[in-house]
Structures are given as structure tokens and as C-alpha cells.
Structure 1
């Protein structure tokens, strides 16, 4: 089941002071970005955050699950989606620990 836009908008609206947040449709689901850095996925109307040590320390005992079949485990965020302050802090500390995105190579014409 693909995620619906209403849920995606809800999640992105919950995140404050964590950079410019946007979602991009990817294979029927959504990647979530902060200032161009992907930090999570929304799959089947569930929020998955990339695992980091800082995120694990902040959450305590995270629920981990793969966002889709064959994927590595991510932190599954369900019960704290409406806690704006908690969710925003998790995103801030997660993004801080993630590497910068690799610069995209310009396509050359043949």
C-alpha cells in the first residue's frame, strides 16, 4: 500500500527548526529530506528514520524495522508522531550525524 499525501504532509508539518524539510516521491513512497540530506522514508504511511548512534541514544530503545522488503532496519516512529518537539529534536540530531550528500555529476551530452 502506497503512502498518501495527507500523511506525508502531516509528518513534514510536524518537523520544526531542522532545516528545510521536504518529501520527494520515490518508487511510490517518499524520501524525507532536510536541506537536501535524506534522513528518512515514509512507506505504507509509516515514518522510518535512518539509524544513527545519536538517534539511538535519544530514543533509548528504538523500534527497528525495514521500511520495505530487503531494506536495512530503520527506526520506526509511531507513538511520537504528534510530539512536535521530540520529533524535531530527533531529526536535528540525526541529520547532524549523517554524512553530507555526494555531489551529483553533471550529465554530459554524447
Structure 2
């Protein structure tokens, strides 16, 4: 998958950026998942559980909260629908405090 956004080309507002040897994925400036050592993973939400009911949950790295491992990264329709539905369940970006 690399940092490729082609799985999400059906929806506007998905971006990615390199982070700690992987990539973090955003939808309308909210983090919904990323590429980590185990593979492409998304946050655990009602929507991600609905679309990926049998997917395994695990931390993407030591000390991190569990995420859901996406086992069917080629299903663009599922991914796009899931991310759009996840949006309202995702926390807003934390604003950086100015010094």
C-alpha cells in the first residue's frame, strides 16, 4: 500500500504523511489510521467494527492503543464507506499550544 492514497480516490479529504517509518492517514484533518509494522490499521470505532467485524485488534507498536488490522486493503468501496462513516466518531485534532 505504501503511502498510496489510491484506495481512497473516491472521496475527497484523505491525506497521508510519513511518521515513524510508516504513514499516518487523515480524513478531513482527523486521523483514522495508518501503515505500521503489522500493515494498514484503523482506529477502533463502531464503524470500523461494522465494516471489519472479524478483523484482529492489536497495538501497532509497543505501548500504543489497539487498532484494527485491515485485512482487505484492495476493497476500495468498503474502505471509503468505512472512513466516511468513521469521521463523526474520530476525535478532533488537538491544537498545538503556542509558546
Fold shared per TM-score above 0.5: yes
1:99 aligns with 2:91: yes
Q: How much is the aligned-residue C-alpha RMSD, in angstroms? A: 1.8
TM-score, normalised with respect to structure 1: 0.77
Structure holding more helix per residue: 1
What CA distance in whole angstroms lies between the structure 2 residues aligned with 1:60 and 1:44? 21
* 1:7–1:72 Cα change, 3 Å: same
Which residue does 2:34 correspond to in 1? 41
- Computing the radius of gyration from Cα coordinates, the structure with the larger value is 1
Instruction: Provide the C-alpha distance between the structure 1 equivalents of 2:63 and 2:26, rounded to a whole number of angstroms.
Output: 22
How does the TM-score come out when normalised to structure 2?
0.84
Aligned length: 98
Q: Residues 13-59 of structure 1: CA distance to partner in whole angstroms, max 9, x if unpaired?
A: 10122x41111111222111112111112113710100012221232
Question: Structure 1 residues 45 and 70 mapped into 2: Cα distance closer, same or farther (>3 Å)?
Answer: closer
- Runs (4+) off by over 6 Å: none
Q: Which blocks of at least 5 consecutive residues in structure 1 are unaligned?
A: 1-5
Say yes or no: does 1:8 pair with 2:3.
Answer: yes
